[in-house]
Amino acid sequence: MNIILLGPPGAGKGTVAGNIKSELGIMHLSTGDLLRSEIKKGTELGKQAKELIDQGKLVPDEVIIGMVSALIAQSGEQGIMFDGFPRTVAQAEALGKIAEIDAVVLLDADEDVVTERICSRRICPGCGAVYNTALLNGSNVCEACNTELTSRADDNEATARERFQVYMQNTQPLVDFYEKADVLCRIDANRTSGEVAENVLKALKDIK
């Protein structure tokens, strides 16, 4: 089964994927995580991407399509949960030529809700765990590996709002695109992460 998690920045795509991937037994592929790993390694792709990501702009379609196509080719029979890809109609068309998509889950959330979530997100540079200050009770260390938590470079209010505008302009048209293909499920992502995961699993139950 191949699934796309669609939704604005901070809607909870990564959180949902983390909560349901073992239940579904499929691979989680986040283009944002892949790009941040290229930045960490200091590759040419990472250097190009960093400038755009820090401004909240999209990385060019051809770079993203090349990166994802290579991974799909290596993934074998295992299904994939795409997170943050596709983000443009060109990316969706390219994906349609190389993989069959069984469901597209739209995590629908308001601009103020997602901006607040982004500004209060903390990440562990040691093991990659993702937290939110709302649930950290004042602690700033990773529960799993005791490393001091940090913020993503693009997690500030101005960049979060820019990312939301970029989403509305470039990615929102995919809602129509996948509605026409009759594969779209809408989930209210303003709810708690537990409720969101449960509702996504319910929506996918008929497809499994």
DSSP assignment string, 166-192: HIIIIITHHHHHHHHTT-EEEEETTS-
Of 14 and 142, CB closest to ligand AP5: 14
Of 33 and 198, CB closest to Mg ion: 33
Pick out residues in 4-33 that bind Mg ion (CB under 5 A): 14
What is the contact mask toward ligand AP5 in residues 184 to 203, using x (rule: CB under 6 A)? -----x--xx--x-------
Residue 178 contacts ligand AP5 per CB under 6 A? no
Beta bridge partners of 106: 6, 186
Residue 81 contacts ligand AP5 per CB under 6 A? no
Partner touching 124 among ligand AP5, Mg ion, none, CB below 5 to 8 Å by kind = none
Which residues, including other chains, have CB under 8 Å from residue 206's CB and lie 6 or more apart? none
Residue 191 is a catalytic residue? no
Residue 36 is a catalytic residue? no
Determine which residue in the list 3, 9, 29, 94 makes contact with ligand AP5, applying CB under 6 A.
9
- Residue 157's SS3 state is helix
Of 20 and 32, CB closest to ligand AP5: 32
DSSP letter for 42, please.
Answer: T
Residue 50 contacts ligand AP5 per CB under 6 A? no
DSSP assignment string, 123-142: E-TTT--EEEGGGTTT--B-
Question: Are the C-beta atoms of 107 and 7 separated by less than 8 Å?
Answer: yes
User: Which uninterrupted H or E stretch holds 159?
Assistant: helix 157-166
147: left (phi over 0), alpha (psi -120 to 50) or beta: beta
Partner touching 147 among Mg ion, ligand AP5, none, CB below 5 to 8 Å by kind = none
Determine which residue in the list 104, 163, 187, 199 makes contact with ligand AP5, applying CB under 6 A.
163
Which residues, including other chains, have CB under 8 Å from residue 114's CB and lie 6 or more apart? 8, 9, 10, 11, 160, 164
> Which entry of 36, 87, 117, 122 is annotated as an active-site residue?
87
**For binding to ligand AP5 (CB under 6 A), which residues are involved?**
7, 9-15, 30-32, 35, 52-53, 56-59, 64, 84-85, 87, 91, 117-118, 121, 130, 132, 163, 189, 192-193, 196
**For binding to Mg ion (CB under 5 A), which residues are involved?**
14
What is the set of active-site residues? 13, 87, 121, 152, 163
